[in-house]
A and B are shown apart, each in its own frame.
Chain A
Amino acid sequence: MTSLASLTKPWEAFSYGFLDASAKRELRRKMLKAVAVPGCQMPYASREVPIARGWGTGGLQVTLTLLKPTSVVKVIDQGADDSVNAASIRKFLSRVSGAGETWDTGEATILQSRHRVPEEVLREDQILVLQVPNPEPLRPVEPNMSVARQMHADADYGRLWLTLYEQMVRSGRIMQGAAYPSLVNGRHVMTPSPIPRWDVPKLHMARHLTFLSAGREKRLYAVPPYTRVEPLVFSDVPYKVEEHHDLTCHRSGLTGYFMNEIPQDDGSSSFEVSDSHFGIKAIRRSEGEALAAIDTWYKNGELQP
């Protein structure tokens, strides 16, 4: 005999992975669309999550949709796994899904990140989720978002070069530091979220899938694996990454990776590697621990093809 109990699920405090099924279904559809049209911004109904808008709600919703019990999550904040925000998000993710937590880039299946791409090369089975504060690369040049949409539709990106032109004229070099506008798959220009210039080439023809999601602005877009991501440049002014090639980390001794600058009392600076767990692994290795070596995007400060 059919009982009510066999037809319904037992009561739970929240759905699996926190978001309700319809929210996840919408996100999944929009994510698939985003993958289908690389770099094109897809609107979605951004839900309430238990962190404040602007603290990674976009990335969190995408991650929550992707989670399954066998997932392993890594959350980084400007390269660090141990910041309060990163730790809280990671804890929240594992608690609502039963997924594993890790600091190690190699072990993770889903990496949610604020403003950095790890130094170690990501694989086909890994997904990078970047938190985006402002998804519209045209906003600085076109305040009217309806017009900006038309400009995307027309691939009318001349004004982005105009901004670069002005920087060249005023400063003699391109001053765009983070969120460097980049052309995805030769069609849509996206902002790669405020990652440094150092990280943008890592997205070009990458093996992994990248989602970029802005919770406050309710837009998400994606860079599928093996997709071209080309920073906008002049044909006679080559793209330059930050000059961190010859900086050495004062803790791990690593050279040729993206560094955080730590000002010293005497006015000088010391540097430590921005990808914190990558630094920790180097220290542990130097202490004799046998850790599997993962390829890095940069070697001796040079991008590997």
Chain B
Amino acid sequence: MTAQSPAPRGEAAPRQLPQLMTTPPLLTMRGITRRFGKVTALEDVDATVYPGEVLGIVGESGSGKSTLLRMMNLEDTPDTGTYELDLPGLGGNLFGLDRFERRMLCARNIGIVYQNPHLGLLMRHSSSGNVAERLLIAGERSFKVLRDKAREALDASEFPLERMDARPIELSGGMQQRVQLAKAIALEPALLLLDEPTTGLDVSVQALVLDTLKRLQRDRSITMVIVSHDLGVIHTMADRVMVMRRGRVVEQGLVDQVFQDPQHEYTQQLVHAKL
């Protein structure tokens, strides 16, 4: 593991490279730096995600966590840094791909759920159609297969199937997130990115959506990266957590370790502030 917290007092022994995990990481980002004018959104960020793992990214607003997630979805390119995914037939820095290659890569291998459903959904089309669009991009042309797969994905996202042809605009926030999720998992992506997936939802709905995610993770062992400023969400969802502040990773580790025995001053403040 790299990018440890910058040696605070009482630093624990540095962690080593994986010995038992023989599969290479699914996602590897190195030295990501992104500046918007004078503002540095990300400064030399490294990230590694192993297959089947759930990585949580926490941090306050403006810490760069969403920017990093957007880069994982190839929506933005950093000033410097590399991004690799360990997928068959894929090599080299993904930031070097052109728009068309990125689109195909993302459609087939990466699913994303945004905090704002308007970013992820076509509001004028039906919910099942939104899911079908993903399959259409990947080249599926059979109406029956589209219909069946859309139904399957919506069902896996625990969306009420009798409403599958309603337009997202007619649905509640929690239901819209389920449609986004169904769309994201329709092609069984290698990587599922979640950008504050439950922020803005009622507490009860939030629990339901998290539960759906947890179930999906367990049954399909999808690799996930989940961004949230809500430590509770990260605690229930993630195996490992990365704490970000002002565009830097201040600490990362196992979720129970970071929350119970935070090493960095900022993380301690964050954890102590948790209700």
Contacts and interface: CB of A to CB of B under 8 A. Distances in A.
Q: Do chains A and B touch in the complex (CB under 8 A)?
A: yes
Interface of A: 150, 153-154, 156, 158-159, 161-162, 165-166, 168-170, 233-237
B142 A158 contact: no
A150 B102 CA distance: 13
A158 B133 contact: yes
Contacts, number: 49
Interface stretch (B31-39, B53-61, B63-71, B122-130): B122-130
A169 B126 contact: yes
A235 B136 contact: no
Contacts of B137: 156, 158
A139 to B, nearest CB: 13
A166 B126 contact: yes
Nearest to A161: B136
> How many interface residues does chain B have, given as a range?
20 to 34
Contacts of A156: 103, 137
Judged by DSSP, the binding face of B is helix
A301 B99 CA distance: 46
B142 A150 contact: no
A162 B141 contact: no
Contact of A162 (B99, B100, B125, B145): B125
A162 B143 contact: no
A216 to B, nearest CB: 25
Contacts of B144: 236
Interface of A is mostly: helix
A165 B146 contact: yes
B142 A235 contact: yes
Interface in B137-154: 137, 141-147
A9 to B, nearest CB: 51
Interface string B134-173: 0011000111111100000000000000000100000000
Contacts of A168: 143
Contacts of B142: 234-236
Contacts of B136: 158-159, 161-162, 165
B132 interface: yes
B133 A162 contact: yes
A268 to B, nearest CB: 35
A237 B126 CA distance: 20
A57 to B, nearest CB: 32
Given A162-B133, A169-B147, 17 more contacts: A154-B100, A156-B103, A156-B137, A158-B133, A158-B136, A159-B122, A159-B133, A162-B129, A162-B132, A165-B132, A165-B143, A168-B143, A234-B143, A235-B143, A236-B143, A236-B144, A236-B145
